[in-house]
Structure 1
Amino acid sequence: MGFYHGLSGLNASSKSLDVIGHNIANGNTTGFKGSRAEFNEMVASAMGAASGNNTGIGVSVAAVTQQFSQGVITPTNNGLDMAIDGDGFFVVNTTSGTAYTRSGNFQLNKNGDLETVNGDKVMGYTVDPLTGLRNSVTLGPITFPTGAPIPAKQTTSISYVLNLDARANLAAGDSSATPPIAPTPRAAIGTSLQVFDSLGVAHPASVYFEKTGPNTWEVYDSLTATDPIGELKFNTDGTLASATPTAPATAFQLTINPTTGASAPFSVNLDLSKSTQFGSAWSVAKATQDGYASGELTDVNVSKDGTLMASYSNGITRAEAQIALAKFTNSQGLIPDGNNNWIASNDSGPAVYGSATSGNFGNIQGKALEQSNVDMTAELVNMMTAQRAYQANAQTIKTQDQIFSTLVNLR
């Protein structure tokens, strides 16, 4: 029996050294989680024998458990690198099915698919590019438009934040005054903004203002137009009282006539609701429009909630997808599948899907990677301890052998 004690100890120590060696070998593996050998005492009991007469017969390896403690997060220069700070796993689609990983060193393949370094497709949710909100609860591969530029968008609206100078002379002037009051020319108070047709070609869209009376201004879409597109009236405190488009229009509109082969003519709504009339110089504080030319993908960044923001050569930055995360009732029940992946099992329970920062999920750090959680110092100490245990168990076998040799040589 003594031989078996030592043999079981050698096997257990050898398994422990295997686990320690595996941890040390993966000390620099992104997202790696170290393991630990768990041991069980083995006892032989005779039927009907008192419990105090049970005899120990050695040790066995009960399990090799994974330690899912947080690894150190280090910054990188790659916009597609991601690290989970807290609970959760990235969801990937492999050739054999769905798997889960903490390794966020992702890349784009030639088709624009977001994938791991092993070629596994990263899964996520589609989002509305305008609002950035998720519009589906169904997981799917994340794909960016890399094979062709994103199509152009025709401008539909322009918005201005501007101030009209309350001190300006009337557009008609006043020749009867002494001295005469010079008119303010239309060209003196006007601005222009580039808008885009359906092909993404830029066109100037101009707007001009003429003061026609106290607190009253007419709005024109060109220097030569004889009819205004509407009228602005202001309160005595300089705030806008009313913005009235010329009938039958229900909103201020600019008409663009492209000759590029795009849809022509097309109208652009003009928002002047944030106009003021103060006693300061004519100025435009902000001008925006919602169209853009076609553009190529130039960069991708991820927010804390996993929303992937894509930047394009036309200056547009918009949400393209949201990274999906998964969590489990018992993470230690996950089965290692190689390539930094785990798969679910009965012990882990089914995956619960969601997104970063929601519920108990952690957040995602962009341009960062989670390092292995292996503590090299602790592993080296554990290795020496396992080596001592191996040597001690070998010594018990040697001692038992000497005892049996003595017995055999009795005369």
Structure 2
Amino acid sequence: MSFNIALSGLAAAQKDLDTTANNIANVNTTGFKESRAEFADVYATSIFASGRTKVGDGVTTAVVAQQFSQGSLQFTNNSLDLAITGEGFFALTPDIQSQDMTYTRAGAFKLNKDNFIVDNKGNFLQGFAVDPVTGENQSVSLSTTQPISIPTSAGAPRATNNIFLSMNLDSRELATDGVPFDATDRATYNHSTSVTVYDSLGESHTVTTYFRKTTTVPPANAEWESFVVWDDVTGSPLPGDNLVFDASGNFVTPPVPTITLPAATLNNPANGYLTNGAQFAADVVVNFRDASGVKQPTQYASTFDVNNLSQDGTTVGYLTGVDIDAFGRVLASYSNGDSAYLAQVAMVRFANVQGLKQVGNTSWKQSITSGEPIGGQANTGTFGAVNASSLEQSNVNLTTELVDLISAQRNFQANSRALEVNSTLQQTVLQIR
């Protein structure tokens, strides 16, 4: 029996050595979680045996338990490198349609040839669908996840429908309404400003807005005429509403004046506005305010100053950057000024993380003892926050492992000595005559 006890001690010491060696080998493995060999004594007896004199039957390895403590963060220059500070896991699938998920803490992600976010083995990072404008997720059920794709273009161009313009018109200017307006003659207007707009094909055009002061006798309200010229079609300016200001230089409302460029006029090739085959589905309107309606034109004794000028059209854009926030929301920015939320990185947690089954490549699968995977949003509850441009390092403490290695070696030697003593005693018994 003593032979078996010593042999069990050797096996346990060997398991401890193997576990420690594996921890040391993975000290630089991203997302690796150290393991700890846990042992239990072996004790067996019959109901008629005396428990007071029974000696144990050795030792057995109860479990090699992984320790899911937080690893330190290593910061990188890759925005697709992700680290979790919390208890969550990333969810991965081997192909686009699969729901066979593995779970990992290793966030060294990159784009594959089809612009999907994948890990080093080509597994697809899973995410929740979100509203492209607000980033609000539509579901946190793992059955609704899908691989996250980063499109390299912003999609179809969007034709301009509204121009927002707010400015200060100089009250000291002299009236210029004595002669017909001519966009090519600076003497027939006081101020002008231009903005680039886009047609349905994404081609850019220049819309120039002109202002000229009309004759006003104080204390009556001051009025300014407005005109719009499309590109270089200076011979056909489109007139707009008059801008009226009170004696304090404030805009007189309602209503807010506009200049309308009718779609029918712009779309008619005979008018010379569009010559590339593009078509506007709606009128283009110049609104004399900002998009929120807060800023409106003024007429003060100050130089002409445009304080807001924007439009709602875009041309075709190309990907210029990807940002991922603490909630795991993926925001793509494009060269045309557009930005859109693409997805939200799915977070997963388990009731018993030590029950997860290791499958290699710093990944785990659920098991009976781990419990069902629970999906959720990063930076809420215990899922943890997502840190972009970061990697979670191994949680192995090299100093501790080296001390454990010495201890395991001594245990092995001690059990080897016990085995040797047992062999010597049995040899002595066999030599009795």
Compute the TM-score of the two structures, normalised by the length of structure 1.
Answer: 0.88
Measure the CA separation in 1 of the matches of 2:285 and 2:48: 94
2:176–2:190 CA contact under 8 A, matched in 1: no
CA displacement 1:149-194 (0-9 Å, x = unmatched) = 7322222222234222333333437xxxxxxxxxx95643221111
Measure the CA separation in 2 of the matches of 1:275 and 1:23: 67
* Counterpart check, 1:220 vs 2:227: yes
CA drift of 1:356 comes to: 1.4
Question: CA separation of 1:360/1:280 partners in 2, compared to 1, >3 Å: closer, same or farther?
Answer: farther
2:238–2:261 CA contact under 8 A, matched in 1: no
1:101 — aligned with what? 104
Structure 2 letter corresponding to 1:105:
A
Structure 2 letter corresponding to 1:70:
Q
1:87–1:362 CA contact under 8 A, matched in 2: yes
2:391 — aligned with what? 369
CA drift of 1:225 comes to: 6.2
1:56 — aligned with what? 56
1:156–1:291 CA contact under 8 A, matched in 2: yes
2:288–2:297 CA contact under 8 A, matched in 1: no
Measure the CA separation in 2 of the matches of 1:54 and 1:238: 104
1:82 — aligned with what? 82
Question: CA separation of 1:324/1:253 partners in 2, compared to 1, >3 Å: closer, same or farther?
Answer: farther
Structure 1 letter corresponding to 2:122:
G
1:122 — aligned with what? 125
Q: Secondary structure at the match of 2:127?
A: strand
Measure the CA separation in 2 of the matches of 1:253 and 1:135: 38
1:189 — aligned with what? 191
* Counterpart check, 1:271 vs 2:252: no
Structure 2 unaligned regions, length at least 5: 179-185, 267-272, 290-294
Say which is worse superposed, 272-281 or 366-375, in terms of deviation: 272-281
CA displacement 1:289-334 (0-9 Å, x = unmatched) = 2222213334322122111122333343322221111111111111
* Counterpart check, 1:232 vs 2:243: yes
* Counterpart check, 1:391 vs 2:413: yes
Question: CA separation of 1:329/1:136 partners in 2, compared to 1, >3 Å: closer, same or farther?
Answer: closer
Question: CA separation of 1:334/1:240 partners in 2, compared to 1, >3 Å: closer, same or farther?
Answer: farther
Instruction: Note the 1:316-331 alignment, pairs <5 A.
Output: 316-331=338-353
Say which is worse superposed, 78-87 or 260-269, in terms of deviation: 260-269
Structure 2 letter corresponding to 1:11:
A
2:190–2:213 CA contact under 8 A, matched in 1: no
Number of equivalenced pairs: 397
Q: Secondary structure at the match of 1:15?
A: helix
2:239–2:259 CA contact under 8 A, matched in 1: no
2:205 — aligned with what? 203
2:302 — aligned with what? 280
Q: CA RMSD in A?
A: 2.5
Question: CA separation of 1:70/1:394 partners in 2, compared to 1, >3 Å: closer, same or farther?
Answer: same
CA drift of 1:367 comes to: 1.3
CA drift of 1:353 comes to: 1.0
Structure 1 unaligned regions, length at least 5: 174-183
Instruction: Note the 1:21-36 alignment, pairs <5 A.
Output: 21-36=21-36
Structure 2 letter corresponding to 1:410:
I
Match of residue 174, structure 2, among 169, 174, 192? 169
> Taking every aligned residue pair, what percent have the same amino acid on both sides?
39
Q: Secondary structure at the match of 1:151?
A: coil
Measure the CA separation in 1 of the matches of 2:27 and 2:91: 23
Measure the CA separation in 2 of the matches of 1:358 and 1:234: 52
Q: Secondary structure at the match of 2:101?
A: strand
Question: CA separation of 1:265/1:220 partners in 2, compared to 1, >3 Å: closer, same or farther?
Answer: farther
**Counting strand residues as a fraction of each chain, which structure ranks higher?**
1
CA drift of 1:79 comes to: 1.9
CA drift of 1:38 comes to: 0.7
2:31–2:104 CA contact under 8 A, matched in 1: yes
Q: Secondary structure at the match of 1:16?
A: helix
Say which is worse superposed, 46-55 or 89-98, in terms of deviation: 46-55
1:187–1:208 CA contact under 8 A, matched in 2: yes
1:258–1:265 CA contact under 8 A, matched in 2: no
CA drift of 1:64 comes to: 0.9
Structure 1 letter corresponding to 2:145:
L
Measure the CA separation in 1 of the matches of 2:50 and 2:36: 35
Compute the TM-score of the two structures, normalised by the length of structure 2.
Answer: 0.84
Q: Secondary structure at the match of 2:173?
A: coil
1:351 — aligned with what? 373
